[in-house]
Chain A
Amino acid sequence: MIGIVDCNSCYASCEQIFRPELRNKPVVVLSNNDGFVIARSKEAKALGIGELQAFFKIEGLLRKHKVTIFSSNYPLYGDISNRVMTTLNTFSPSVEVYSIDEMFLDLTGIQEPMNSYGQRIKKTVWQHIRMPVCVGVAPSKTLAKLANKAAKTYDHCEGVCVLEEPYQWQWLQKRMPVNKVWGIGSKLTKRLAGLNIHTAYDLSRASPKAMRRHMSINIERTIEELNGHPCIPFEEQPPAKKQIYCSRSFGERISTLAPLLQAISTYASRATEKLRKQKCLVISIHVFLHTSPHESNYYSNAIAVKLPYPTDDTTVVIDAARQAITYLYRDGLRFQKVGIGLIEIKPKKQLQFDLFHAGQSKKRDQLMTVLDSINSRYGKGALHIAASGGTKKWAMRQQYLSPAYTTRWTDLPVIHS
């Protein structure tokens, strides 16, 4: 059996952990730059606040209902997610972190009845971390996701839904529109509607082989999984990313070159840091920038740059990215966003040497190792390349940021005794 544990309104719940007075109250979390609502507590959803609504449009509504507002605090969410994962490891030898708020558990060989096991997982995660979760258990990942939806939807499940027998999942599939099935997006939903497939049950009855010829191997897998035959393997090690992107919208519009260069240098260092973490080298980068599409004379441009040699050296990537931005920049425009993507990546181990270039020197390797270890010890950005600048006027708007309760000494909660 496979279980999936999903944190309820993950970011909003993280904000409630160290603010118990906010439990059972409406709470929303805004995206980077305080642009959109990206998480809502149950009570906030009940007020009719929709997913991804623009903050400035609903600010009045939020104030009227005394909703507590937070800017996103990723150091906190990352740490809490890590704690959830560690705790789940005591329930299963293999845990796959599918996303920051969803984890698959291999429950093969557990003797305890699945329902009580699921309840125990839910209770423990709440007691140890104060994170509310829902648990779905079924023979395949796709069915487990479906079970998790049911656990969220039907109150009498009490947060845990186990699908062991075909009659159980078929009952549910008949009530589940096909677009709620894991891996079925909006495009696919339209094509399936043309074939008269509307519910998850309709899809499960389709012929896997015929659908594979019609569409892709993925749909064949999904159909098999919907019938309780696991096809999607467990991945404890997340696969290395094939591309790494780093970009942000600015807190205010930028109309000169210098801050753009600073911003692209910062994003280039961040992307290269991620690159080194997954032990890869980059060969080509993609640099882009644009003005606001809502303003007149909208300008958007991008360029791909091939680096002199495969590298994970921050300074080389920054240098290329700065040249690219200088090339793309136009005077007299108000820029909203710049970003960089490392688009051609190779594992460091599989590097082919160039006949005419020695490649990255050992010295640079060592320099980058030192850079990373200093930053992991003294905090992000403790040591950075000067090109990314000191004071950041263009940095994100984070007006409602909560403290980093678990990752910074100065931010620990203070308790009156």
Chain B
Amino acid sequence: MTTKKTRLLIGAAAVAASAAIALSGCSGSGGKNSGAAGGTSTVTLFSGQVGNFTENFNPLSPTGSGLQPTNGVIYEPLFYYNKAKAGNPVPLLGTSFKWNGDGTELTVKVRQGVKWSDGKPETADDVVYSLNLVSNNPALNTSGQKWVAKKTDDSTVVIDFPATAFTLEPQVLGNEPIVPESIWKSIPDPTKTTNVKPVGTGPYMLKSFTPQSFVLEKNPNYWGKGDQAPKVDQVRYISLSNADAATSALQSGQVDYMGSFLPTLKQIMAQHKNLSYSNSPQATTALFTCSNPGLGCTGPQTDPAVRQAMYYAMDRTQLNNQAAAGFSTPASPALILNTVNKDQITNPDYLTVPQSADVAKAKSLLEADGWTLGSNGYYVKDGKELDLSINVVSGWTDYDTICTLLQGQFKRAGIKLSVNQVAQNAWTQAEVSGKYQMSLNSINMGPSSNPYFQYSQYLSSAATAKVGGSATTNVSRYSNPAVDAAIKTLASTNDKTKEQAAYKTIQDAIVKDMPYVPVYVNSALAEYNNSHATGWPSQDNQYAFPLPWGGNWGVGIVLKTIRPVGK
């Protein structure tokens, strides 16, 4: 009797297992993307979303909580500023623009014949409304300056600024979505709406939404014609939880377009001929140091000789190979990119950082500063050991690996490094309040590749505060009056000669003081699957900044440029 029961149990288990596998057949796992229903071409996109999507298509949200395609794919700005390539901005809803002499008035020509996705015409009134809506609302206006836009005729909009505002150009022309006045004037609080039925001018519009995935479809009223029109019928967005899942998705053809750092990327590309990728570096990974004792910083890193010694003690080739999987590119001590911004680097010595470690030079710099080598191999001065701590976000694996490797590399130069792996909010808090010695972070580009944004955000005294207060972006507490004056010059002029002189002042200062010790330029990898669509950006042809991350207007350009395979 028991044996019969045991057999029943085993039988039941087998039935359950086979039912699970059989039911999987019902779910139809084949033919996911192309040719699903009557030849509809679909491209699947992974934007880095972990967990469920929250239905929010608000292009004006100050916290950036609108879903990825909102800015760029559903809504468009006046011009597109391509961070991956030096060049003029691409006309979208605006066709041309002109500044007056002192940068207080910007005249923009508006494209005619544009329609919203609900069929109504888009006019200069909408442009004026959108720009003023942002300017007048303190929760939406993250630039800190107000402007007034007015329409002078059906095809021209003039924007007036209270002070010289050349550097606001990418923000106003390239970073502000144009929204329909007819809909938004009846929304009581534009920061809180979730805008679940978005109406925009972009190449795609929302078709359907579930928390696990949503679908966009071609906008039949899009202003672009021919090559400028969207050709792929549908775009589907999915979420994945980690790099492992992303790797599998790419390899199995489940995702066509994504922007993840995959350490096995080179093997994947070698094994799958239908995949391609491009690398659009824009951020310089650097050791952020709390460098200014005048503003309350304490620790050995406040000594410029120590920072210089670290600069020379790094073996960046090892860091590139083992932390960045070979995808990083050499940085410049001028803290801007030596590719896109090559012309703005004022001294040929500032083009690249040394790629291999120069331990002798590091040691001589320290010894000239009064440090002596202690018995345990680390330098000592005034009885204190050269002991530095660095904060890094736990889970950012390439950064974690950099810190582990730096520990060993610095040890050879007599510098002791202890690594604190912290959660992101604690890491941010430490930087903002100044209560840290070093922090591994990156110098990010602003809304365009203009070096003004990097320098003003990371070096200006206006963006910093004492240790204990809240610094906005200049967390190194660097404060140099000559640099501040040069930054002010950059903000108030369009004259190339004056700009170059200002760059020289700034760069000479930071190469000497090195408040941020550059490591390498971090990769920004985007991967593509060419089986369902072609025309993706390539390494040599980066017609848009292709990372499908939040806030990137370039995704709209990419999506409308690609063509489905077989059509």
**A pairs with B:** no
Q: Which residues of A contact B (CB under 8 A)?
A: none
